[in-house]
Amino acid sequence: MFHALDQKDKKYLVDQAQKQEKAGASYIDLNTAALLEKEVKTLKWAISFLQKEVKIPFSIDTPNPEAMEEGLKNHKGQALLNSLSGETRRIKSILPLVKEYKPRVIVLCLDDDGLPKTADKELAIAKKMISLLEKEGVSPEDIFIDPLVRPIGVDQESGKLFLESLEKIKKNLPSVKTIAGISNVSFGLPRRKLINRVFLILALQRGLDAAILDPLDKEILTTLGSVEALLGKDPALKKYLKQIRKI
């Protein structure tokens, strides 16, 4: 993807975006951070033409406030801002963009103290950020709390901490949504897709509302559909049956 963006390969980018849309993605994540000094111009260029080719909105995924503003400014309709955290510098640079452009927002459970080590700390950050966003007029329905999935290959307690945090956040903050980058859990391990699928099942059981994953991975997509059907989240099993027919 980096090469395609760097070379402005429209054909490849459109093909990938349309495949993800067809596979059932709700958003297309557009991350241009690796382009460094080219990022702002490239993000503006990519959004401008890609939105003419797909109907679903984009997740503007960048740590660069200038690039984030360019992405939000040029996006038609409500984008997804990826992401805001509880770090002071991030709040100062990103919160004004949320107020001006009114995107949906992914909130990372991270603050100036670094990565939380307990579920209670993650919940405290989530509460603080929701309060901050609500004061700026952001609806709870437009907030996605990300308790941050960390690799179990680095700390084998990471998966357990995420699941505990997710469950606590859903119990105490039922009006907001939760989201997670599923594949982070398996970084550096063999058979990553197996770990990812099982982790997704566990997260969905604890109330995960949205997942950042590869919509072209049929196995994880059918896992998602199957779990939603079993948890009663798929009325008349429409999504499940539609997915199975595609296999």
Q: For residue range 60-92, list pLDDT tens digits in order.
A: 999 999 999 999 999 999 999 999 999 999 999
Residues in the chain: 247
Mean confidence (pLDDT) of the chain: 96
| Residue 91 C-beta-side C-alpha neighbours within 13 Å | 15
Residue 242's pLDDT band, with cuts at 50, 70 and 90, is confident
Query: Average pLDDT of 212-236?
Result: 94
* Residue extents of the structural domains in the chain: 1-77, 78-181+188-216
Residue range 43-63, pLDDT digits in tens: 999 999 999 999 999 999 999
Q: Give CA angle at 244 (241, 245), nearest 5°.
A: 85
Q: What is the pLDDT of residue 63?
A: 95
Residue 246's pLDDT band, with cuts at 50, 70 and 90, is confident
Q: Do the beta carbons of residue 68 and residue 30 sit within 8 Å?
A: no
Lowest mean pLDDT among 86-95, 163-172, 233-242: 233-242
Residue range 100-133, pLDDT digits in tens: 999 999 999 999 999 999 999 999 999 999 999 9
Q: What is the pLDDT of residue 199?
A: 98
Helix (H) or strand (E) holding 115: none
Write down the pTM of the prediction.
Answer: 0.95
Strands 210-212 and 143-146: unpaired
Q: Does domain 78-181+188-216 have CATH number 3.20.20.20?
A: yes
Q: What is the pLDDT of residue 6?
A: 87
Residue 4's pLDDT band, with cuts at 50, 70 and 90, is confident
Strands (E), 112-204: 143-146, 177-181
Tokens 């001006």 map to which residue? 100
Query: Average pLDDT of 203-223?
Result: 95
CA gap 92, 36 in Å, rounded: 21
Residue 38's pLDDT band, with cuts at 50, 70 and 90, is very high
Exposure string (b/e) for 91-111, b if CB count within 10 Å is 16 or more? bebbbebbeebbbbbbbbbbb
Give the three-state DSSP class for 128: helix
CA gap 202, 138 in Å, rounded: 29
